[in-house]
Amino acid sequence: MTNPHWIYTQTIKTFAAGATPAFEDEGELASTWGRVWGIDNDVGRIRDILMHRPGPEMNVVDPGKRIAEIGSYGDPAVGWYFQSDTPPDIPLMQAQHDGFVAALRAEGINVHFMEGEAGNRLKQIYTRDPVIMVKGGAIVCRMGARIRRGEELAVTRTLAKLGIPILRTINGAGIMEGGSFTWLNEKTCAIGVGVRVNREGAAQVGEVLARQGVELLVVDLAGYDIHIDVSFLMVDRDLALLNPQGLPYSFLEALTERGIRYIETDPGDDPWIVNSLAVAPGKVLMPEGATNRTLDRLAAAGVSWVTVPYAAVHKNGGGLHCSTTPLRRDSL
């Protein structure tokens, strides 16, 4: 009779383990996870995107809870705020969000919706923040603002349902929000640190990127700016749109050193112009409010755009970029 241990050994030897190809290899991802999830740039054509339609959570805004000295509505004890001098127009917010979804679908993008968490999390429309997409999958963030804690659970459930690998969840004392993360090119990313993102959170993201051979630039944001995406947006290969008032000069130097040109916004632009979304190289979905000077500069650089009304959603504290997380983009 053949020794059972010999049979076991020979079987395991025949069906050997192997570390290569690496996890991020496209063939490996496709065979293991069903498709190639993740992104390595911020301007390649978007194939899949994550969003959340504003819904019942907006009803937490109490018109009687206006804080006159800051010009907003809010209740620190309960944990919500709405950055406007008028209460939210929920039907208009939904209509403008639906219009944005329609514009994305017109570009051939598959739109996936994140189920919301119950309660007062009226910021969960801004799906950019609880997750970061990198090569091969997702990094689940840890929200800096306590009023947004719990969105991590909703996005984790959604990623699992879609079959997207989760490469890391920010933990310990780290705080990280996806609106402060950007790809500059396939080998370089940047994170803006400030009131919603600390260096520990950035370092944890950097550990994932380092394993993928990607450099991380840590950028100090100005004042109380919460995310880098209110000041910086890649719109094409090696071309950005930015507001220099929200960025340190060292970052502008770093862009130039890496061959990235940039267009500065005009003082007359609506501040939300930078918070647009590149859906393909040189094509941007943009809110209303850009001056002709800025539009002329974009056109001269070969950038085209589609205007999407979004002012009602801006009042909740975020724009087009904030309202999306691309799950798959074409590599450049």
Q: Does residue 195 lie in a domain region? A: yes
Distance between CA 317 and CA 177 in Å, rounded?
Answer: 14
Block residue for tokens 């017109």: 106
Q: Does residue 60 lie in a domain region? A: no
Domains in the chain, number: 1
- The enclosing domain of 168 has a CATH number of 3.75.10.10
1 has pLDDT over 70: no
Q: What is the pLDDT of residue 261?
A: 98
Handedness of CA 26, 28, 30, 35 (dihedral sign): negative
118 has pLDDT over 70: no
Q: Does residue 171 lie in a domain region? A: yes
CB of 42 within 8 A of CB of 182? Answer: yes
| Mean pLDDT for the stretch of residues 203-229 | 97
The pairing of strands 72-75 and 80-82 is antiparallel
| Residues 138-178 pLDDT 10s | 999 999 988 899 999 999 999 999 999 999 999 999 999 99
The rounded mean pLDDT for the chain is: 95
Q: What is the pLDDT of residue 96?
A: 98
CB of 180 within 8 A of CB of 197? Answer: yes
Which residue range forms the structural domain that includes residue 301? 23-53+90-329
